[in-house]
Structure 1
Amino acid sequence: MRDLYQRLRLSVDADDTAVAAAIDRCEHTGLKADAATVLQAEWRRAEYDALHDTLSDIGRLRARLGLTHAPYWRAGPADDFSLPPGPPGSRFEEWMQRLNRAALAHNRAPRRRLAVAVLWLATLAGGIGLGMFL
């Protein structure tokens, strides 16, 4: 996915006139059409900005973890959100805590299911045994 702000050399908080001027200066027809469609409609730009923040966070997280694209992807349209890790105190720690909690929950789920199945089978066997006894 292209980072329209990076490709147009704009800051994320650029006003509408700066966006329009950058789109007019753009020589790449595909980029120009995408930017006009997304950044010049207020509701689309709001959605893009929310997505932009998320993709930037993921790019920093990937960089901190050492996950980089293959050499043939560098400087291409898929590399726009591969960012440097960011300063200390960034959201990296928060992301790592979320990932660790999700991994722990995922690892515990099969054991819980197994324990519930064993308990259910024991209850069923006890009920059948009690039924046969009576």
Structure 2
Amino acid sequence: MRDLYQRLHLSADADESAVAEAIARCEHSALKADAATVLQADSRRAEYDALHDTLSDIGRLRARLGLTHAPYWRAGPADDFSLPPGPPGSRFEEWMQRLNVAARAHNRRPRRRGILLVLWLATLAGGVALGRYLL
């Protein structure tokens, strides 16, 4: 979805006259038609504004997490709501370090269980063998 406000160089709270001027200045016919259809009808603009707020929030969240689009999505309509990734040392780095520590701890646990299971089975087998020998 295109960010009509960004592409028309408008703020989201622009009044009707500013929107009309921006649409008139627009040289891209498809963008001009979309903006006129969406931003000049009150009910459509209200729906667009709600969706715009949601997509903007998602873009800010992705930026804080350090997520970006793959190169083939950049500079297209899919990238309109993306922001540059957060600065180095952002919370994303901290979360990734915590996730890596948890994953390493989790990956070590099954091996311990496997070793303990083998030892238990060996002890059980030894006990059974010793019991048969003694009887």
Root mean square deviation of aligned Cα: 1.4
Percent identity between the aligned chains?
A: 88
Equivalent position of 1:53 in the other structure: 53
Equivalent position of 2:37 in the other structure: 37
In structure 2, C-alpha distance between the alignment counterparts of 1:31 and 1:64, rounded to whole Å: 29
How far does the alpha carbon of each residue in 1:43-85 deviate from its partner, in whole angstroms, 9 at most, with x for none? 1001111111100000011111122101122121110000257
User: Radius of gyration: which is bigger?
Assistant: 2
Structure 1's unaligned 5+ residue stretches are 87-134
Residues 56 and 81 in structure 1, CA contact (< 8 A), matched pair in contact too: yes
Question: Would you say how many aligned residue pairs link Structure 1 and Structure 2?
Answer: 86
Structure 2's unaligned 5+ residue stretches are 87-135
Residues 63 and 82 in structure 2, CA contact (< 8 A), matched pair in contact too: yes
Residues 59 and 84 in structure 1, CA contact (< 8 A), matched pair in contact too: no
TM-score (norm 1): 0.61
TM-score (norm 2): 0.61
In structure 2, C-alpha distance between the alignment counterparts of 1:85 and 1:16, rounded to whole Å: 33
